[in-house]
Amino acid sequence: MVGVTVRTALVTGANRGIGEQIARGLAKHGLHVLVGSRERSSGDNIAASINDQGGSAETVALDVSDRSSIASVASTHPEIDVLVNNAGMLDEGRLLDLSEDTLAMTTAVNGLGPLFLIRAMSPGMAKRGYGRIVNVSSGWGALNNLGPGAYGVTKAYLNAITIKAASELPNSVKVNAMCPGWVRTRMGGPSASRSPEEGADTGVWLATLPDTGPTGGFFRDRQAISWMDG
């Protein structure tokens, strides 16, 4: 249709679980979805399925722990309107006992990767006067409820990034964090109480907020929750 703007969304870790369902949800809202995946083949399967169901999607090879990979995506897809930082890593063990490699990788995936993606994509959003950034965090990132190992610490870092980025970007670029709850994914395990579709719902909502929507908040089930208690 002439005059209709088709916005582009990048969803990291969109080849399975919550990320896949957010990608599918955004496609149903009419967005062109970039299925971010370290493994191109699994991303291709999701993109093909979205296209077969009448949506619009393509795969982008993206390792959020690799700054050169982030730079490559930013250069080839400069007009991203919606960024969903979904890729995450759950480590095991005590924070004080984790190896340096595990600490570095968890920090890169859960914190620095999202930050560098925001730094790469948000200037264009601000210039165009529209942007939606969703950081998939966790109640385990709340300061009074920190999760195991480096996971809780890096999700708290992601929450802090959310607050700071929202304060530095114009109101036209909404930056929010979300807790999907305990979801039946490879990370959450088969005993989790929520389906991936339920976990993704708040992410799709935040990624499609109207101009009057909130920014700089933390949400579960589309309701604001506390940064301290999750």
Single out the catalytic residue among 12, 14, 87, 151.
Answer: 151
Helical H segments across the chain, by residue range: 17-28, 40-52, 67-76, 100-107, 113-128, 149-168, 196-207
- What are φ and ψ of residue 68, in 5° steps? -70, -35
Beta bridge partners of 11: 35, 84
Within 10 A of 7 (CB to CB), how many other CB atoms are there? Answer: 20
Other Cβ atoms less than 10 A from the Cβ of 93: the count is 12
Instruction: Compute the distance between CA of residue 69 and CA of residue 120 in angstroms, rounded to an integer.
Output: 12
**Residue with token string 């979805």:** 33
Nearest CA to 118 among 184, 187, 164? 164
Distance CA 207, CA 107 (A): 24
Percent helix, strand, coil in the chain, to 5, is 45, 15, 40
> Is 151 in the active site?
yes
Angle at 157 between CA 156 and CA 160, to 5 degrees: 90
φ and ψ of 146, to 5 deg: -65, 135
- Catalytic residue set: 151
